[in-house]
Structure 1
Amino acid sequence: MSWPTQQRWKGVASLFSNKWNFCHSVSALDGKHIASRCLPSAGSHYYNYKGFHSIMLFTLVDADYKFQYVDAGTNGCSSDAGIFSATALREALEINPLGLPEPEPLPDDDTPVPIFVIGDGTFALWLLTMKSFPDCNMTRQQCIFNYRLSRARHVVENAFGILASR
């Protein structure tokens, strides 16, 4: 798959902002367990925490449910965060050959903020990944942030649903 141009990244960030009310995001990350038979001599390598054998489909999805990055075939006992840390995507985000736009201020602010990808709570908070606040003693603003992030992150869940229905 080819990476979008800087202009396309800005367009995706605009879509996340307009459709999902979540600024500066260009993608949502997640992994999906694909059920499989136990391979001979695989042992528990492909046995996941959900109680069945699987391989992982790890993806990056834009605001229109389009897959931007796919990594398939990792054993089912791996975590989403573990898979992400071992992908070429993580390295590409770090050194930015993806052509992500330069940091820009959020609306009604003047502090530049980097463009980022969003993930669920299993991912580490990092300069280019965003996740929700922990669920304890949150302020009203943090609750609103978590709600909006969760809503924006559903694009990846919905993309898996669309893929599974085919």
Structure 2
Amino acid sequence: MENRKRYLAALGLGLLYLRLNKRKTRRWWVRPINRNQMRLQDPEQFFNYTRLTTAQFDLLLTWIGPSIAKNSFREPISPGARLALTLRHLASGDSIPTLAFSYRIGKSTACMIINETCDALWIILQPRVLQPPNKIEWQEISSGFQTCWNLPNCVGSMDGEHVRIRAPYNSGSTYFNYKKTFSIVLFAVCDYKYCFTHVDIGAYGSQSDGGVLKLSKFGYNLNNGQLDLPEDMPFPGMQENKPFYFVGDEAFPLQMNLLRPFGGKNLTHDKQIYNYRLSRARRCIENAFGILASRFRLFHTTILKNPEHVGTVIKACVLTLEKYLGKMRQ
């Protein structure tokens, strides 16, 4: 009897030792049931899910896939799944917890994937599709404004758009704008086809459009003649040479290469015609922002990220992808 008790006690200690020293089984990153559900076979549904066709998605994946692929002793999340998760976040504006639950991954993992993929998109795509126009391309843009909007020598329409963010800690009124929300400013210039040619992201929401332009790289290049604009040319039916210029609203200052509308109500007929022509051209940038927001619903939400991460998401994914889609359409 005594030997039996000793045997059972030794057996219990042995089992306890094995249990305590047993290596904990790691959780999976993606549940097995979802591993084969990242790519939808229905083209229309896939486009609604990612805002890209399957051909565009595959081409984009070949470009950035090596940059976002992971090597691990565990089976990592594939580059295609990482890209699809990021595109879904941009296309729908879904929150990180919602996406994490949909993909059966952790919230921190989903956030890390989105940030890393955004960085890769900007690094890979920016040199390919977001280069400043040269003189020949400026000439083509000017011809387009003349043909479509009856505005000669115009090479772009500019404006600023407020992107709502969560109020950063200890920021005071730095990001508080005139709309009574917290935001950062997306400053952009587009051509007559609503395609962006310059973007600047990250200015405080409390800044005016004129202040954003002054502090931006584009504003510096504009003031110092470093945009490689064509030589002055006369308007149709005139002999005197006129400079090429951009158009903006009343918030921007009047400069040699930047025109704004006349203010006031009691304007002469010529000034009213001038304002009407400028208004038609300025509508291009408003339409470009509208197209951008309708394609990527993230713009209709309050982005719950730090300002530096918000800038990365917008410029690396949204604007670069919009420019990428424009190149694909052409």
TM interval, shorter chain, is over 0.9
**Unaligned 5+ residue runs, structure 2?**
1-129, 296-330
Match of 1:27 in 2: 156
Match of 2:142 in 1: 13
**SS class of match (1:73):** strand
Q: 1:90 aligns with which of 219, 232, 236?
A: 219
Match of 1:136 in 2: 265
Structure with more relative contact order (C-alpha pairs < 8 Å, separation 6 or more): 1
Shift of 1:96: 2.6
**Unaligned 5+ residue runs, structure 1?**
none
Say whether residues 1:120 and 2:249 are aligned partners.
yes
Distance 1:134 1:95 in 2: 27
Shift of 1:12: 0.2
Shift of 1:3: 1.3
Shift of 1:136: 3.4
Question: Residues 35-87 of structure 1: CA distance to partner in whole angstroms, max 9, x if unpaired?
Answer: 11111111111110111111110001111111111111111101000000111
Distance 1:127 1:97 in 2: 14
Distance 2:268 2:240 in 1: 22
| More helix as a share of residues | 2
Letter aligned with residue 269 of structure 2: R
Say whether residues 1:46 and 2:175 are aligned partners.
yes
Letter aligned with residue 184 of structure 2: I
Distance 1:75 1:99 in 2: 28
Match of 2:195 in 1: 66
**SS class of match (2:254):** coil
Distance 2:225 2:209 in 1: 21
Letter aligned with residue 175 of structure 2: Y
Match of 1:78 in 2: 207
Match of 1:57 in 2: 186
Q: Which has the larger radius of gyration?
A: 2
Match of 2:315 in 1: none
When normalised by structure 2's length, the TM-score is: 0.49
Distance 1:143 1:106 in 2: 19
Distance 1:53 1:115 in 2: 35
Question: Residues 106-160 of structure 1: CA distance to partner in whole angstroms, max 9, x if unpaired?
Answer: 1111111100000001111100100111123311111011011001100000000
Distance 2:216 2:165 in 1: 22
Letter aligned with residue 239 of structure 2: D
Give the count of matched residue pairs.
166
Distance 1:24 1:135 in 2: 25
Q: Which runs of 4+ in 1 moved over 3 A?
A: none
Shift of 1:97: 2.7
Shift of 1:94: 2.6
Shift of 1:95: 2.7
